A and B are shown apart, each in its own frame.
Chain A
Amino acid sequence: MGNIVRKGKNVIVDKTQMKGLSNWKAEESKEIQQPGQDVDEDRVVANLSVSKQNRDNWEKNTQSGRVQHLLEMGKEDKTSHSYDYDLIVIGGGSGGLAAAKEAAGFGKKVMVLDYVTPSPKGTKWGLGGTCVNVGCIPKKLMHQAAVLGEAISDSRKFGWDVQEQVSHDWDLLTQAVQNHVRSLSFNYRRSLMDKNVTYLNAYGMFVDENTVKATDKNMKETYHTAADFIIATGERPRYLGIPGDKELCITSDDLFSLPQSPGRTLVVGASYVALECAGFLAGLGLDVTVMVRSILLRGFDQQMANKIGEYMEEHGICFLREIVPTKIERIEEGTPGKLRVTATSVKDGENHEGEYNTVLLAIGRDACTHSIGLENVGVKLNEKTGKVPVNEKEQTNVPHIYAIGDILEGKLELTPVAIQAGRLLARRLYGGQNTECDYNNVPTTVFTPLEYGACGRSEEKAIEAFGEENIEVYHSSFWPLEWTVPNKGKDTCYAKIICNKQDNDRIVGFHILGPNAGEITQGFAVAMKCGMTKVQLDNTIGIHPVCAEVFTTMSITKSSGGSVSASGC
């Protein structure tokens, strides 16, 4: 009973709060073009008459977790009585939204603050964070565009009569991609509304332990209090700090909505973002150069990383190794105009110069943690990386402030990880559950022209963890059937598994380089969750003829030095 009364009180607090926000609300509803729908009123009504579903949930929760609730009653009463919200999430990306919606599903009062500071080039976007707007979604679509370009040239060998003169229209692609991105962003807003989560398109900053200041784009400030907070502000691309970088270069924040084809492009960096962008730009027919300071895909298995590099080089992408840019100058106006890049060899200090239409920086990303008032509440940061250390419950050093997603120290910067972490956090906070996010054996895929899927440890990390003598590496090249007719590289695609000999030949690393690597890797990640061993792999029957079946017939160990060349059926 006490709980329900508490909810009522919340609404009253909320209503006064909402009044202060009515300007913003009106503006927002205009923006999302839903005339006639007064968000403010809806919000209040929905809260006053707790929807049936919410009430059901509520009753279910109170019954199933009665003991839990009784135990937490003291804490809840103390906090909820005096705050506007149960939870405020700062950052409306994959992780933040997942946490917010999950918390709202438990009948909690939740606010999400999201605000995109325009990039130095002025690019900005809507709700949804990096993945939807300037990450996974647009890059996979552009990768798909490049894959389709390859399909066109393959198709001639498969009997399709296509003229040789095929060209690509950048504007058409970016428009199509942006339309999809906007529709996703819109869906996020709708789903927040459906779940009764208050969304504020404003920049959030901690003022004190339970209060954030939200500043909207008109610099209007509002204050909101909550019992718990989740920081999910993510990251933004890093700049070089050399003359001309912010004025003249673009980053992945700008690329996917660039109003004109980037033309001759220099990609600086060898992160997965760098290689993915370089890959699809080249696939769309552009002249692309990648400038690499040291190694490709740091943190990934280096054998696989180098194979990706080789493939890209074979497919016309120029790699400048051990060189760093020192100066960018504009030498020709226009869109895209022309830039001169001066660079220095890290080996011998020799200077290099090149001219490009576009310079894309992809040298890393920095956590958005420095201007959100963390110093006001004492949340500790790793000073060097700007990342937030958390415990296994995603809790910062300030107990009621949590953090998820890309800003976490030592965790993975992946959308599904952030979503999982956000959801599980909300379930632990409000659902009486105790499952923690498992950051081990998380699968991932790099969408380079030849896709790379991985789960578990790299060969280097496996050696480090278990010792070279305790691991066995099985590997094999394979020739995708679809590559035979167009006669594409026979020994290009490659698969590798790493087994721990001390533990029943359990698979501790899974790596595949080939078409559809992402689709292939997912199921194997489930198998790794189930503790798959080499014997189980050998006992599984392949699906013929697909690339993934290569894993069911692997017999050559690296230590044997045997040939891995692809053989027939």
Chain B
Amino acid sequence: MFDAVASMAALCGQCRLWRRAAAAAQLHSGVRCLSAKFDYDLLVIGGGSGGLACSKEAALSGKKVAVLDFVEPSPKGTSWGLGGTCVNVGCIPKKLMHHAALLGGAMKDAQKFGWLVPGQFTHDWSTMSEAVQNYIRSLNWGHRVQLNDKNVKFLNHKGTFKDEHSVRAVSKSGKETVLTAENIVIATGGRPKYPSDVPGAAEYGLSSDDLFWLKETPGKTLVVGASYVALECAGFLTGIGLDVSVMVRSIPLRGFDQQMAHLVTDYMESNGTKFLWKCVPTKVERMPKGQLETTWRHLESGQEGKAHFDTVLWAVGRAPETKALNLEKIGVEVNDKTGKVIVAANDATSVPHIYAIGDVAEGRPELTPSAIKAGKLLARRLFNSSTELMNYDNVPTTVFTPLEYGCIGLSEEEAVRRHGEENIEVFHAFYKPLEFTVSERDSSQCYIKVVCFRNSEQKILGLHFNGPNAGEVTQGFSLGIQCGATYSHLMSTVGIHPTCAEEITKLHITKRSGLDATVTGC
């Protein structure tokens, strides 16, 4: 297609926009030609996982597509390239740093497995962050190349709605262009929140937007919050040898199964992460030597605490990035409380040709694969006469804390709330990964729980797995649940020996029975 365009360009040498349209029309005869009214068939604001997937899928249908992506620097001045949160300041760097931390553990294990590792091994932040950043840059580049290959116009511009079909795009240098499009997708994602009532928070603190791009080690760190971002960051920072404290206002991993969440934090505590439970920060001040003096209050006793940290990391939630879009002007409704864009099942906003996908859309899971899938399906509905809607049921997810936690479906609390305790059956087991035996690791938090209906069919409502490689383990089971797996499907599946995942196929102790759920022997 690229070649075709190029040769056309050589032949006619006319206005660029026309050329593209003609090429598209020629190559995809039968597909509606671009209406003269708009510059683009589709304009996507936000070049993250969802936006890119949507734009590329639309381009595959021969549509004229543009993507606007612009990273507003964090309060600390960190910015990055194309690809959005996941690639730059989310899944990718965090999993790599999590892996770095796991390797630290692996080296301790290795000695029990006969490896002689001379001397003390220490971790060098800058080697790791440089390697991680290099990989991210290669992904940024890869995304640019893909857009180019697929003839998607990319503008490193910030987009603001001018009217229902036009968007003002402003470059870093202030250069302004107006793009018009028949359909517009908002995929601007979210950014970390800072507390507004803590003096010094934004001035001295960092967020996950900054952490992965630090050139020097964060040193002694206070992580504020107990979201998965907070616990994942605290986990890998501890794992690479830093002194880390986590300040938790109420509960860890809100929205996740609380028994699992507490096992996750128990494991972290036993691996050296300190927790300040039921505390809220009140003030951050910079000391003459650069250390950050952080003051907090214990919520129950009201007592004040104070300590010095090299880094204070805010992980108190994320806010949708809608401020700059000028949504109120064109009548796109947002939820006043969450700031997220209200969408219908087909991802349309209150303005029918404007859509929203990914983290910015109200009620959607804030997960990369879900945004990608939603973006692709939206493009197919718009341009490929598909009617398929996104199925948001049973979306699996994994928290990459030191002990990983993977889950699908309902938490135990939610299952009880929806169906009543008497109608659900919980099968559970505490198990010991084979790899933990020789390495003499504590497996107290390696735990599996399957929540089922209590009727004769025992359909699975939720599956929860704490243990190594939880993400890898969980994926296949999510498919099973998608296919309607029941407890007896689990039982009739033969295990793969010796793995951790096989323990899920051997669950037989119900919580109701009160019997010891510790797995013994093979």
Contacts and interface: CB of A to CB of B under 8 A. Distances in A.
Interface string A145-182: 10011011011011111110111111111001100100
A569 B92 contact: yes
Nearest to B49: A569
A530 B92 CA distance: 32
A202 B83 CA distance: 66
B151 interface: no
A542 interface: yes
B474 interface: yes
A453 B240 contact: no
Contact of A548 (B471, B494, B520): B471
Contacts of B395: 541
A526 B485 contact: yes
21 contacts: A145-B110, A148-B109, A149-B110, A152-B107, A152-B117, A159-B100, A159-B124, A160-B104, A176-B114, A438-B492, A442-B494, A443-B493, A516-B469, A523-B501, A529-B485, A540-B396, A541-B478, A543-B406, A543-B475, A546-B471, A568-B143
A440 to B, nearest CB: 10
B483 A532 contact: yes
A529 to B, nearest CB: 5
Interface string A269-285: 00000000000000010
A463 interface: no
A149 B135 contact: no
Nearest to A98: B522
| Interface residues on chain A, size class | 35 or more
B290 interface: no
Given A94-B522, A519-B499, A523-B477, A161 B494 contact: no
B495 interface: yes
Contacts of A567: 142, 146
B386 interface: no
- Interface hub of B99, B125, B368, B496 (most chain A Cβ within 10 A): B496
B484 interface: yes
Interface centre among B112, B124, B479, B521 (most CB of A within 10 A): B479
A185 B498 CA distance: 16
A152 B476 contact: no
A32 to B, nearest CB: 15
A295 interface: no
B294 to A, nearest CB: 27
A539 B482 contact: yes
Nearest to A442: B494
Contacts of B303: none
A365 to B, nearest CB: 17
B239 to A, nearest CB: 11
B6 interface: no
B489 A530 contact: yes
Given A152-B106, A527-B476, A445 B368 contact: no
Q: Chain B CB within 10 Å — which of A137, A161, A163, A569 has the most?
A: A569
Interface string A417-447: 1011000000000000001001000111100
Interface stretch (A111-119, A205-213, A226-234, A478-486): A478-486
Contact of A482 (B96, B117, B124, B370): B96
A524 interface: yes
Interface residue range, chain B: 35 or more
B101 to A, nearest CB: 9
B490 interface: yes
Interface stretch (B13-21, B202-210, B433-441): B433-441
Contact of A484 (B123, B135, B479, B493): B135
A369 interface: no
Interchain residue pairs A-B with the least CB separation, the first 10: A523-B476, A159-B128, A173-B114, A548-B475, A522-B501, A523-B477, A530-B483, A524-B476, A546-B471, A526-B480
A378 interface: no
Contacts of A419: 495, 522
B132 A443 contact: no
B496 A523 contact: no
B139 interface: yes
B482 A540 contact: yes
A316 interface: no
Nearest to A159: B128
B369 A154 contact: no
A158 B131 contact: yes
B297 to A, nearest CB: 36
A361 interface: no
Contacts of B265: none
A152 B103 CA distance: 7
Contacts of B483: 527, 530-532, 536
Nearest to A175: B114
Interface string B479-516: 11011110001101111111111101100000000000
B135 A485 contact: yes
Contact of A530 (B95, B110, B484): B484
A160 B127 CA distance: 8
Given A132-B522, A442-B494, A543-B478, A141 B438 contact: yes
Interface in B451-488: 469, 471-480, 482-485
B466 to A, nearest CB: 14
Contact of A485 (B96, B490, B498): B96
Interface in A529-569: 529-532, 536-537, 539-549, 551-552, 567-569
B434 A137 contact: yes
Contacts of A417: 494
Q: Which of A417, A442, A520: most chain B CB closer than 10 A?
A: A520
B221 interface: no
A187 interface: yes
A177 B72 CA distance: 54
A444 B497 CA distance: 8
A569 B87 contact: yes
Given A148-B113, A177-B438, 16 more contacts: A131-B522, A136-B497, A152-B107, A157-B127, A161-B121, A163-B117, A168-B114, A415-B522, A442-B494, A520-B476, A522-B473, A524-B480, A536-B479, A540-B479, A541-B369, A546-B475
A537 B480 CA distance: 10
B157 interface: no
Given A140-B498, A485-B132, A165 B118 contact: yes
Interface string A68-97: 000000000000000000000000001000
Given A149-B115, A522-B502, A526-B480, A416 B495 contact: yes
B119 interface: yes
Nearest to A481: B95
B91 interface: yes
A543 B106 contact: no
Contacts of A57: none
A159 B502 CA distance: 33
B131 A485 contact: yes
Contact of B495 (A159, A522, A530): A522
A520 B122 CA distance: 32
A543 B116 contact: no
Contact of A137 (B131, B394, B474, B522): B522
B429 to A, nearest CB: 14
Contacts of A157: 127, 131
Contacts of B191: none
Contacts of A420: 494
A525 B494 contact: yes
A414 interface: yes
A158 B476 contact: no
B276 interface: no
A157 B92 CA distance: 16
Contacts of A145: 110, 113-115
B263 interface: no
B398 interface: yes
A215 B398 CA distance: 54
Contacts of A180: 437-438
B416 interface: no
Interface string A394-413: 00000000000000000000
B330 interface: no
Contact of B475 (A155, A284, A443, A551): A551
